[in-house]
Amino acid sequence: MHSAQAAALGRARLFAGLHLVVTILLMGVVARRMLDVPSSFTTGTMLMGPLAYFGAVAGVLFCFPRSLPHWALRIVPLNVHAEFRDLFGIRGSRR
């Protein structure tokens, strides 16, 4: 792997890691609001699902930015992974 490829991989990992951290923080804020204001419980439960999904996507991309294992294709659609690789200039095998 040459230096440009290593830099692209590093940027992708940093981006996915930051996405994961922001998602966890947002989930914490929503959960705290749900506990503090019981009337916001319905809205909070509707937000938790998408936040958890995007956190899972970021976590999988953070662990496997070059190629996804077979089980991860259930979480991250292949076209999302290809767009993530293309965004950061990571070359990899297309399935």
The per-residue pLDDT for range 7-49, each reduced to its tens digit, is 899 999 999 999 999 999 999 999 998 889 888 888 888 988 8
70 vs 56, 64, 67, 75, CA distance in Å? Answer: 15, 11, 9, 10
Mean pLDDT calculated for residue range 48-73: 89
Share of the chain above pLDDT 70, in %: 95
Tokens 């999302």 map to which residue?
80
55 vs 13, 26, 93, CA distance in Å? Answer: 14, 10, 25
CA 46, 50, 53, 54 torsion-angle sign: negative
